[in-house]
Copies of this chain bind each other. A is one copy, B any other.
């Protein structure tokens, strides 16, 4: 007999409540202020239960990231690689700028810096995002806008990296112009066959 668990009852409700509470706490206090105890209280689930199922703060983060991974990501299709790339980088910028989703996204990045588990989760999450975004580059190659051998993932990386750098490393403000410039730089390099 296959002891397949089908979580449709109490466990599922607990899981959802904790996930929601984690996201809410993350939005309010950021990663540094995330506590198992606070998540437990907010979710209405007893803290020992949270400790047993999620272990610690890192577990909560990893689980929340898995949830976020399933949300669809609007890939732009403006007709030109120039517009598509620009929109992707803008989307990254505004995503972190958003007063609601921004802190949560930033918390994920912060968490990944201190927890190998969270780092793996974020890596997987971004790999999925990159794979979707890379499609934009492949379309451009098909249209003849970019040379054949271009590394789609690398183009995306080079385009968005300066935005992340300003946000999380140098801690400078990021304008839309900054985002557009980064997209343009990546595009130029891609066209020249450097990427």
Contact = CB atoms under 8 A, between A and B. Distances in A.
Interface of A: 30-32, 106, 109-110, 112-115, 119-120, 122-123, 126-127, 130, 154, 157-158, 160-162, 164-166, 168-172, 181-182, 184-186, 188-189, 192, 194-195
A40 B83 CA distance: 55
A125 to B, nearest CB: 9
A164 B157 contact: no
B189 A195 contact: no
B168 A162 contact: no
Contacts of A110: 110, 113-114
Contact of A113 (B109, B162, B192): B109
A188 B161 CA distance: 16
Which one of A109, A122, A165 has the greatest number of beta carbons of chain B within 10 Å?
A: A165
A176 B75 CA distance: 31
B113 A170 contact: no
A130 B114 CA distance: 26
Contact of A194 (B123, B165, B188): B188
Nearest to A155: B185
B181 A154 contact: yes
